[in-house]
Amino acid sequence: MTRRLCTEYIDPRTIEPILANRLIPHDKGEGAVRPIGVGEVIRRIVRKCVMKVIKPDVIDASGSLQVCAGLKSG
């Protein structure tokens, strides 16, 4: 499924359930709210698999623009 999502056109209506998000309002204080989006589990698993494969390319492509590229929690 991950390979198909990365290499083929898929009708957006077909994958709408995978792209769903839950929005959670997080109080920042003083009446400000930060919206936190939590994606579906399957989408997060697919993202992890893809990033595991392309991480070196992303680090090379971002170069000095992204100082935390490749660091844990970066």
Q: Are strands 32-39 and 21-29 parallel, antiparallel or unpaired?
A: antiparallel
Establish if 57 belongs to a structural domain.
yes
Model confidence pLDDT, tens digit, residues 40-51: 999 999 999 999
| Residue entry with tokens 């999502």 | 5
pLDDT band at 10 (very low <50, low <70, confident <90, very high): very high
Q: Which long-range contacts (CB under 8 A, 24 or more apart) does 68-72 make?
A: none
| Overall number of domains in the chain | 1
Establish if 34 belongs to a structural domain.
yes
Integer Cα distance of 63 and 71 in angstroms: 13
Q: What share of the chain is helix, strand, coil (3-state, %, to 5)?
A: 55, 25, 25
**What was the pLDDT predicted at 35?**
93
Establish if 74 belongs to a structural domain.
no
**What was the pLDDT predicted at 14?**
92
In this prediction, residues 16-21 reach a mean pLDDT of 90
Structural domain that includes position 16 = 1-69
Establish if 6 belongs to a structural domain.
yes
Q: What is the pTM of this model?
A: 0.63
